[in-house]
Chain A
Amino acid sequence: MTSVTWVRARSALVTAAAILLLAGAAGCDSGDDLGDTPDAAPGSHGTDAPDVTTVVTIEHGEGMNAAHQTKVLDGVSAVIDPWFDQAFLGDFPRSDYAAAFAGFTEGAAEDAQRDLDLLSNAGLSDRIDSATATNRRVRLDVFAPEGHARGVTANFVLDFDTAGDLEQHLRVHGALYLAKVKGEWKVFGYDVEQAVEL
């Protein structure tokens, strides 16, 4: 099993904390353990909350060297982070979520619009002023024949606090399926469960 960590850190402190937290999480094999080590204390709200970064790990990526792993981590993060930010986090209300699915294939993006209530905070939009992440964690299973990544399952957990009429600590989790399209990672499928209150 390969286990590699990539932290899209906005500060050295957060990076170090994330790596330490990850050391305890690596090697687990259930979806829920992704969310067991939040990067910030639950209950923090709005702009006062710390800047939480996405912790991305590769669990299955046999055959890839360090350079390829870094490319995969970087490329996949560049798709998932904008989705987290544009679909679930930031200021509300909002009505246009198209930017959230820029990293999806055309067909998957169309379906995401159909499934907007689960693929975004559209269902809460009118009741919240903002949503702030407390935990962003992604674990990758990489299909890498001959060491070259061709497909990825990204198992994710996103915890966030909402502020406004509805103040809740929520978790959304699931999996995104990605493949390269014209050299860029794209989400071609997903399996996402309805957000639940923690």
Chain B
Amino acid sequence: MIGTSWRRVRAWRPFRLAALGVVLAVCATLAPSSSVEPTDLALIKLKRATTVDVSPDVVWILAVGSDARPGEDMTHTRGDALQLIGMNTRTGAAAAIGVPRDSYVEIPGVGHNKINAALYYGGPELLGEAVGNLIGIQPDYVFITRFEKFRAMIGTIGGIEVDNPISFGDDSLKPVPFEAGRIHLGPWDALFFARIRHDLLRGDFDRSANQQRVLRGIQAKIRQKAGNHGFIEKGVLSAIQNMATNASPSELYRLARAAAAVKPSLITTCVLQGGIGNIGGASVVLPYLDQAQQMGDEARDDATLEACP
């Protein structure tokens, strides 16, 4: 079931005076000595009160990257990128569980098939139900986007930064490989970073992990710019224009504030693992069902994954 209930966020806030503190510390160190007793320098850190109320406490969102081509309905094609994202609005924690698109599972009312086919057969609700059954967490919301719309959203926020563990590329999409390390991704590169899999050692599993790096980059950018006047408002407008979702505009606005309140240090991510099989001539992932339920049990109530199985 896809609900619409609210969850609550207890927020965070960065310390604006950190930079000032460094400057003052350096000045104090470099200042010439004087025979006059210097005035004591006291740096007072102002207190700050923050909260975002999006009750109840933990909200779950299924983020879907559709492979819809121009002219196709992105809510009834195949879902290529599948990330079940939880936000604990009380602690500022967030978790993402990546589901390989080729996971061979039971789709309610359809039978066994690749999980991404659920979007084709039954739209966002059926895909949400299929992923929810696999992990044991039913999403409150489903967000669906497609290639060009994803690029537009990345463009709206000015690109993202990701920590890339290994250089990789793609002969057609990215002939000049992504460098390892912290790199900036513009709209096209963010899309390629999330799509490329052939050059990755573990194929779709590694791609799913890269999608989670993109999600971290998006969250970091939202958090960084949330205090800029009009940033959240313009960002949610862009999201409405570039996503299909069951969330109302007002709900999206509150979720955006909740996303901005997530603490990067409390983000945990895992990718559901599985074996590789061949069914009916098609290559599939046979997901480790116990692992899927274990992840769900671990993260359901607090949006925190202690460790990936």
Contacts and interface: CB of A to CB of B under 8 A. Distances in A.
Interface of A: 29, 31, 59-60, 104-108, 111-112, 115, 117-119, 139, 141-145, 148, 150-151, 153, 155, 174-175, 177, 179-180, 188-194, 196
Contacts of A112: 51
Contacts of B13: 191
B260 to A, nearest CB: 10
B48 A189 contact: no
A29 B50 contact: no
The 9 tightest CB contacts between A and B, nearest first, are A151-B253, A107-B53, A60-B230, A115-B49, A189-B52, A118-B49, A111-B51, A143-B233, A150-B249
Interface string B180-196: 00000000000000000
Nearest to A61: B233
Given A188-B54, A190-B51, 9 more contacts: A29-B229, A31-B227, A107-B53, A111-B51, A117-B47, A143-B253, A151-B233, A179-B250, A189-B257
Given A111-B10, A188-B52, A60 B249 contact: no
Interface stretch (B24-32, B234-242, B271-279, B292-300): B234-242
A194 B240 CA distance: 35
Given A60-B229, A193-B47, A145 B240 contact: yes
B254 A188 contact: yes
Contact of A151 (B9, B10, B53, B254): B254
Nearest to A59: B229
What is the size category of the interface that chain B forms with chain A? 20 to 34
A60 B234 contact: yes
Nearest to B54: A188
B232 interface: yes
A177 B249 contact: no
B11 A189 contact: yes
Given A107-B53, A180-B250, A194 B236 contact: no
B133 interface: no
Nearest to B228: A29
Contacts of A194: 46-48
B48 A177 contact: no
A169 B50 CA distance: 24
Contacts of A115: 49, 51
Given A150-B250, A194-B46, A141 B53 contact: no
B253 A141 contact: no
B55 interface: yes
Interface string B59-100: 000000000000000000000000000000000000000000
Which of the listed residues B48, B50, B52, B236 has the most CB atoms from chain A within 10 Å of its own CB? B50
A31 B132 CA distance: 42
Nearest to A30: B229
B8 interface: yes
A31 B229 CA distance: 8
A179 B237 contact: no
B35 to A, nearest CB: 32
Contact of A119 (B46, B49, B253, B254): B49
B53 A189 contact: yes
B232 A143 contact: yes
Contacts of B230: 59-60, 141
A111 B46 CA distance: 19
A31 B48 CA distance: 15
Nearest to B231: A141
B236 A151 contact: yes
A29 B49 CA distance: 22
B49 A150 contact: no
